[in-house]
Amino acid sequence: MSTIYAYVESIFNKLPPSREMLQLKNEMLANMEDKYNDLVTEGLSEHEAIGQVLAEFGDISEIIEAYNLDFEESERNDPNVLSLSKNEAEAYFFHRQKYALAIATGVFLCIISVAFLFLTLTIRSFFFSAVSEDSITLIGVVLMLITIAIGVGLFIVFGMQESNYPFDKKVLHLDQATYTMINQQYLAFKPKLSYAIAAGVVFCILGPIFLLLSFALLTEENLIGLVFLMGFIAVGVFLFVYYGIQNDTYEKLLTIGSHTRAHVLSNTITERIASIVFPIATLIYLFQGFVNGAWGTAWIIFPIVGIGFAILSAIIEAVTNLTNKK
């Protein structure tokens, strides 16, 4: 049911707020919930029931027509809303798929590069003890730096491609057919996300376990445990990043999660405030340090400003949410 609620919220977030819209949203939710419960009772799975409910109730064109809402005009007057055609949405989605793989691979390479250094030293201790440690260490460092360079290269190349889609501060609007298609894909993706997160946690736990086992069964000087530690963590973090970026892409296109209109508006406001507050805090710190010599105590301005800014951000987001619901 959370998917249905998120879907309805995303629809009505894009419509002009009014008492009639709130009533209509509640009626739509009630009807969809009743239909969902009936389908589950008939034996359909959760995902099948959600898919059928969205297919039956997902079209809001009649709602817009019945209330004489000029939806397109409303969007054109809102600088925070960006409409995407089906081709544009698919191009963005395809880019983000490649972006997710590239960034996750880059992070994986940066982490695993350290394991290469430990691995070369471990191989020397088992097979090439006659080779000097300095020579093996040099080979390990070179491999580590090459691996890091490849990872950083992926960050730069795909980071530049990401700049072709400046959607960070925009609420994306899709036509109903495209929205429904992507929402169906998201429903199929969510179980994969759950499995990936679970697997990532398992890998991150296995790393320290293998490290402790290597200390217990071998010696603390043996580096094979560190190789397993970094390897397992690299795989776990890869899963977190790869599937996390894909999930963020779905949420961005569907205007749910952290990409609702209220979130985008509150983030825009807080970013503007942050661009003023934190430089002022830095100036105060420097003034206290250079003029009063209070370097040892003036740093307290940063946690104070940080806590205050966090509270202010929460208040702004709460007010924005309440405003959108009125």
* Residue-wise pLDDT tens digits, 244-265: 999 999 988 888 777 777 676 6
Total Cβ atoms within 10 A of residue 66: 10
Region of 125 (left: φ > 0; alpha: ψ -120 to 50; beta: rest) is alpha
DSSP SS3 for 138: helix
CA 53 – CA 7 distance, rounded (Å): 11
CA 270 – CA 5 distance, rounded (Å): 27
Q: Report pLDDT for 302.
A: 80
Region of 223 (left: φ > 0; alpha: ψ -120 to 50; beta: rest) is alpha
Q: pLDDT (tens digit, 0 to 9) for every residue of the chain, 326 residues total? A: 677 777 777 666 656 555 566 667 777 778 888 888 888 888 888 878 877 877 776 555 555 555 444 445 555 556 677 788 889 899 999 999 999 999 999 999 988 888 887 777 666 555 556 556 667 677 778 888 899 999 999 999 998 988 888 887 777 888 777 887 888 888 889 899 999 999 999 999 998 888 888 777 766 556 677 788 888 999 999 999 999 999 999 988 888 777 777 676 677 777 778 778 878 888 888 888 778 777 667 778 888 888 887 787 778 777 766 665 55
Which tokens is 225 given? 């445990």
DSSP SS3 for 82: strand
Q: Report pLDDT for 126.
A: 56
- Contact predicate 123/130, CB 8 Å: no
CA 100 – CA 249 distance, rounded (Å): 9
Cα distance between the two ends of the chain: 24
Please report the DSSP string for 171-225 in residue order: EEEE-HHHHHHHHHHHHHHHHHHHHHHHHHHHHHHHHHHHHHHHHHHS-TT--HH
Greatest CA separation for the chain: 84
Give residue 6's identity as a one-letter amino acid code. Answer: A
Domain spans, the chain: 2-72, 84-258, 264-325
Give residue 321's identity as a one-letter amino acid code. Answer: N
C-alpha to C-alpha distances, 314 to 168, 308, 325, nearest whole angstrom: 20, 10, 17
Q: Report pLDDT for 68.
A: 45
